[in-house]
Amino acid sequence: MPPPKNLPGFYFDPEKNRYFPVKGPIAGSKRPLSSSSSSSDPSSSSRDAPDQKNEVQLTRWKKRIKGSELLLSREIHGGLIFSNKTRCSFRQEYQKVQASRPMVWNYQSTTNVADAAIEQLDGIVQTPSGSRETKLLTTGNMMGAISLFGIGNVLAGIGNVLVDFCYGDEAFIRPIWSPSRNQKAIYDSAIWSTWCTSYPSFTSNISCIRKLGYQFSNSVNASSSYQHALVTTLGSGESGGSLNVLNLSEPLDFRIRACPVETRTSEIACFDRTIWAADCYAYGPQAAVGTNVGSALVNLETAAVSWLNRSKSDVLSLRYVPSGNVVLCGHRNGAIISVDIRQKQSELSAEPSARRPNPHRTAPLLRNDRRSVKRRVQMNGKLNSSSVVYMPSAVCSLVSLQSDEQYFLGSSMDGSIKLFDRRLLQRGAVQSYEGHVNSHTHLQLAVNPSETLLLSGGEDCVVRIWSVKTSELIFAENVANSIFTRVCWPESGEGSCKPEQSELHEDRPFELSHSWGAWLGSRKGLFYMHGT
């Protein structure tokens, strides 16, 4: 059979045995200088293709619906919005509009403060009028120091005392990104009244900070849900990682420049291994840690350790599902293992180095990443192929959705972000989120409280926001020329919400002061992103 003829403007598909028209260049995209140069460097064209695709997707979303049209549609149709022959809720579309036009602030003199961990907690601070509850932003860095930032107008009464402590500058925060040059930042927001104290004492890097919902028996005040935090250290050549509890139930005095970390923390367990990740069960004294030899459960009251699985591949990310019955473990080799903790585990002492030898079973894992390399994970116990899925590279972040614990998000170091269903792991990912850039960095994912938006920083210094439901790329901009390795989207949704407005938020959720807010951390400092 003779080869097909070359027709101008068409290409031949041998599988379908027909010609298809060649699509022209995308409007607004940069055309190649010559046909010879484009054909001589096919790798460059393949690299530019995803960027052009994401650029078009972002432009298409911004042109889809305007704010005025959104409000008009709400008045006509109520809570339902009809856009491009699709039906969606006004609340979800409004959140997308806010996410597409955020403001970003930078906290001055916070270099190398929040490059390892960020978590927003509830705590008690000492003010001239007495002890009051407020929001506390807890950050950890690569040098083993923990910093506590007091957030909110509850601290305004001690502002004059703390001007010198706050790095000697009243303009502690400055806007660095705005969707419009003519739009000015709001200076009456509670994020402007922020103070900091630090606890520099850990001997190795901070690897994780997680809020504890469980109330310990020695808590002074049980009115707040999160007055303790789980803090883990990575470990160094001299010693392994450690598991600690940070106590915030006692009033915090920001007039003290720095205090020894021992006054606020208590060590629960010390490992002779590297601790990469940790998470805690919201309704019990139980935590899970990911190490370089597998994942383990730790009882925070008795310090008892039991291993979930043993692996020759490091557990770089780890997350509980909301029910607390399953722990998701993301490995360096790309495996994501769903471990049911209700199964019998091997009991160990608080020092895992003194463990007894246990029989191991090597089980083959399901291969669904289109690669022919056979990969195996050494597990302690039985392994079902339906509980394992693979990503193309090392898994650096996992997020379990609260609305439906069967779904979770995973990010790998090749830039892939995927949505999985635990019931259908053998079929691979349910959905993919395009545009993310990563090659070797431990970048973190974050979702908003309503679980409609997904946020992450990239190695190209671009902050991206996707729609969780549709995987649309809503926002992609270089806002600070910095790689944001840590992100935190507070559960309340408003990192800067004033205490006296909490009741108003339920009735008027679309006010500017009640928009979403997320914290971003990098080596260049602490940043705050706020929807408009």
Distance of CA 302 to the CA centre of its chain: 30
Q: Which amino acid is at 68?
A: S
Q: pLDDT-based confidence at 508, cuts 50/70/90? A: very low
- For residue 389, is pLDDT > 50? yes
Q: pLDDT-based confidence at 258, cuts 50/70/90? A: low
- For residue 273, is pLDDT > 80? yes
DSSP secondary structure letter of residue 252? B
More confident residue, 292 or 223: 292
> Which pTM value belongs to this model?
0.76
What's residue 465's pLDDT? 96
More confident residue, 366 or 17: 17
Q: Which of 56-60, 103-107, 177-181, 414-418 has the lowest mean pLDDT?
A: 56-60
- For residue 334, is pLDDT > 90? yes
Q: Sign of dihedral through CA atoms 323, 393, 51, 455?
A: positive
Helix, strand or coil, per DSSP, at residue 74: helix
Q: pLDDT-based confidence at 43, cuts 50/70/90? A: very low
Q: pLDDT-based confidence at 516, cuts 50/70/90? A: confident
Mean pLDDT over residues 168-186, rounded? 62
Q: Name the fold adopted by 106-447.
A: Methylamine Dehydrogenase; Chain H (2.130.10)
Highest mean pLDDT among 188-197, 244-253, 265-274: 265-274
More confident residue, 238 or 393: 393
Angle (CA) 432-438-443 rounded to 5° is: 90
What's residue 329's pLDDT? 96
- For residue 92, is pLDDT > 50? yes
DSSP secondary structure letter of residue 491? T
Highest mean pLDDT among 53-67, 175-189, 275-289, 349-363: 275-289
More confident residue, 14 or 369: 14
CA 248, CA 264: separation in Å to the nearest integer? 7
What's residue 421's pLDDT? 95
- For residue 407, is pLDDT > 90? yes
- For residue 223, is pLDDT > 90? no
Residues of the chain above pLDDT 90, percent = 37
Q: Which residues contact 500 (CB under 8 A, 6 or more apart)?
A: none
Which residues sit opposite 289 in a β-bridge?
278, 296
What's residue 13's pLDDT? 74
Q: pLDDT-based confidence at 250, cuts 50/70/90? A: confident
| Model pLDDT for residues 439-473, shown as the tens digit of each residue | 999 999 999 998 999 999 999 999 999 999 989 99
- For residue 220, is pLDDT > 60? no
| Residue 190, number of CB atoms within 10 A of its CB | 22
What's residue 57's pLDDT? 56
Average pLDDT, the chain: 74
CA 399, CA 491: separation in Å to the nearest integer? 13
| Residue 372, number of CB atoms within 10 A of its CB | 6
Task: Report which of 7, 167, 101 is spatially closest to residue 474, judged by C-alpha positions.
Answer: 101
- For residue 347, is pLDDT > 70? no
- For residue 330, is pLDDT > 60? yes
Which string of b and e fits 109-148 if b means at least 16 CB within 10 Å?
A: ebeebbbbbbbbbbbbbbbeeeebbbbbbbbbbbebbbbb
Q: pLDDT-based confidence at 191, cuts 50/70/90? A: low
Q: pLDDT-based confidence at 75, cuts 50/70/90? A: low
More confident residue, 287 or 84: 287
